[in-house]
């Protein structure tokens, strides 16, 4: 207990070291909803103290000029895997089987830094993919200031129906799986509790998957199992989210009460209407499919579009037409961490969203879906998680790649 008390005292000292006011003077502010030319933002300690056209610096405040830049809330990555790296470097199977948790954790510390430096001050990290509970330690290392990284919401092991996930090698060899296997209401309930007890902020289930390599996805957990997982998580104050690509997997997960569906590749108008009715958001991860198609040899802009890309566009369109709420998340890890803006660019360039739609999704939208009322907006009393990009991202979404300034909790991470 003594050690804990000492640690707490140190943490207070670190916080007070940047207990100062900083006035940020960009060309414009995107507050999570709208652009405001000529606004300034005053940060005091770890919070936003004031934002508007007539904000002046109190005595002793530092002023940082962000000429030609747009200041916006730190972006929120909705779907990352800090313990994966791009599959064109090492296949998913080999990462799970051949790479030690120590190696994967070392990589994860770099991935966390790159994500933060790219302007993503929060990430929903949806499963360690065979790296055990290492995400709990990664989050602790970030929160205690040992390494730089975004604020994490973690899913730890995630749950898969027994036999449904991978890697699948010879039937004679047992290899670690990319998520925790479970079957039956009693077991899924117990393992949901176990994951929460070890630090899961979110419970992730795979509602469908490929039972055999090379075949298409089919439902995995039964309705009763999914209901038990969601209800167990809910009574512990945790949301459940589902990987689902098939209409039946999506339907079961939605009926069970998950909060978001990840991917939704083969979603039908009918299942999207059900999601809309039940208030379930879609995190489409279009960047993951784009990356995987490129890894399989698709020369984008030269070759014809692969069928899965065209199918994905149709399902995203059907979800929009049904009025489903979109979360912004690209499945980073499939592609490089720090390239998180790829999802935003593709949503604008290839899926018909406006830049403002996507900027809202990545800030206030994700904050609302993920129950993060302390961030995603620039207004007094929200966390001073801020990013400035060169130019106007509401005109050209590519501006979100040109990050010049990042602040997390009032501490400057990156500046010109
Ligand atoms: Zn994923």
In a domain, 176, yes or no: yes
Residue 17 has pLDDT above 90, yes or no: no
Q: What's the whole-number mean pLDDT along residues 108-124?
A: 98
- How far, in Å, is the centroid of ligand 1 from the Cα of 34? 30
- How far, in Å, is the centroid of ligand 1 from the Cα of 143? 23
Residue 255 has pLDDT above 80, yes or no: yes
Instruction: For residues 358 and 255, state if they share a domain.
Output: yes
- How far, in Å, is the centroid of ligand 1 from the Cα of 151? 18
Residue 411 has pLDDT above 70, yes or no: yes
- How far, in Å, is the centroid of ligand 1 from the Cα of 200? 16
- How far, in Å, is the centroid of ligand 1 from the Cα of 126? 6
In a domain, 178, yes or no: yes
For the chain, how far is it from start to end, CA to CA, in angstroms? 42
- How far, in Å, is the centroid of ligand 1 from the Cα of 6? 38
- How far, in Å, is the centroid of ligand 1 from the Cα of 332? 8
- How far, in Å, is the centroid of ligand 1 from the Cα of 189? 23
Instruction: For residues 130 and 172, state if they share a domain.
Output: yes
In a domain, 291, yes or no: yes
Output the pLDDT for position 213: 85
Domain that holds residue 110: 75-369
- How far, in Å, is the centroid of ligand 1 from the Cα of 127? 7
Question: pLDDT tens digits for 188-221?
Answer: 999 999 999 999 999 999 999 999 988 999 999 9
- pLDDT band at residue 161 using 50, 70 and 90 as cut-offs: very high
- How far, in Å, is the centroid of ligand 1 from the Cα of 50? 37
Q: What's the whole-number mean pLDDT along residues 116-124?
A: 98
* CATH code, 44: 2.30.40.10
Residue 1 has pLDDT above 80, yes or no: no
- How far, in Å, is the centroid of ligand 1 from the Cα of 263? 8
Instruction: For residues 45 and 160, state if they share a domain.
Output: no
Question: pLDDT tens digits for 238-254?
Answer: 999 999 999 999 999 99
Residue 12 has pLDDT above 50, yes or no: no
Instruction: For residues 141 and 40, state if they share a domain.
Output: no
Tell me how many degrees the CA angle 182-188-194 measures, rounded to the nearest 5. 100
- Return phi, psi of residue 269, to 5°: -50, -40
Q: Total domain count for the chain?
A: 2
Using a cut of 0.85, tell me whether the model's pTM lies above it: yes
- pLDDT band at residue 15 using 50, 70 and 90 as cut-offs: very low
Instruction: For residues 364 and 229, state if they share a domain.
Output: yes
Output the pLDDT for position 39: 98
Ion ligand 1, residue ranges at CB < 5 A? 331
- How far, in Å, is the centroid of ligand 1 from the Cα of 243? 8
- How far, in Å, is the centroid of ligand 1 from the Cα of 330? 8
Instruction: For residues 308 and 244, state if they share a domain.
Output: yes
Question: pLDDT tens digits for 342-379?
Answer: 999 999 999 999 999 999 999 999 999 999 999 999 99
Q: Give the Å distances, CA to CA, from 412 to 58, 73, 243.
A: 19, 14, 35
Output the pLDDT for position 416: 80
Question: pLDDT tens digits for 299-318?
Answer: 999 999 999 999 999 999 99
pLDDT > 70: percent of the chain: 95
Instruction: For residues 121 and 192, state if they share a domain.
Output: yes
């Amino acid at each position: 207990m003594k050690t804990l008390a000492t640690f707490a005292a140190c943490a207070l000292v670190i916080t007070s070291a940047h207990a100062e006011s900083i006035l940020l003077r960009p060309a414009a502010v995107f507050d999570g909803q709208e652009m405001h030319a000529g606004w300034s933002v005053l940060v005091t300690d770890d919070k936003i103290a004031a934002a508007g056209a007539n904000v002046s610096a109190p005595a002793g405040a530092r002023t940082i000029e962000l000429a030609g830049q747009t200041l916006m809330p730190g972006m929120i990555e909705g779907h990352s895997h800090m313990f994966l790296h791009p599959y064109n470097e090492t296949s998913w199977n080999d990462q799970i089987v051949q790479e030690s948790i120590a190696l994967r954790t070392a990589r994860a510390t770099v991935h966390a830094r790159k994500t933060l430096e790219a302007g993503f001050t929060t990430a929903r990290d949806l499963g360690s993919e065979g790296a055990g509970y290492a995400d709990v330690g990664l989050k602790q290392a970030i929160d205690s200031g040992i390494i730089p990284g975004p604020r994490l919401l973690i899913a730890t092991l995630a749950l898969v129906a027994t036999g449904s996930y991978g890697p699948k090698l010879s039937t004679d060899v047992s290899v670690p799986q990319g998520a925790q296997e479970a079957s039956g209401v009693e077991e899924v309930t117990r393992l949901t509790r176990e994951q929460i007890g070890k630090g899961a902020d979110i419970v992730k289930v795979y509602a469908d998957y490929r039972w055999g390599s090379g075949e298409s996805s089919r439902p995995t957990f039964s309705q009763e199992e999914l209901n038990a997982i969601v209800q167990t998580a809910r009574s512990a104050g945790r949301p459940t989210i589902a990987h689902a690509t098939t209409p039946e997997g999506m339907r079961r997960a939605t009926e069970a009460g998950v909060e978001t569906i990840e991917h939704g590749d083969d979603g039908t108008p009918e299942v999207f209407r059900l999601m809309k009715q039940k208030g379930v958001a879609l995190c489409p991860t279009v960047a993951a499919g784009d990356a995987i198609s490129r890894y399989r040899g698709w020369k984008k802009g030269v070759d014809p579009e692969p069928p899965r890309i065209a199918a994905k566009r149709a399902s995203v369109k059907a979800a929009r037409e049904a009025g489903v709420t979109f979360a912004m998340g690209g499945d980073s890890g499939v592609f490089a961490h720090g390239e998180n803006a790829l999802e935003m660019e593709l949503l604008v360039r290839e899926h018909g969203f406006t830049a403002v739609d996507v900027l809202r999704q990545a800030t206030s939208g994700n904050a609302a879906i993920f129950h993060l009322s302390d961030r995603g907006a620039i207004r007094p009393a929200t966390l001073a998680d801020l990013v400035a990009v060169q130019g106007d991202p509401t005109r050209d979404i590519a501006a979100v790649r040109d990050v010049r300034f990042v602040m997390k909790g009032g501490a400057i991470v990156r500046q010109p």
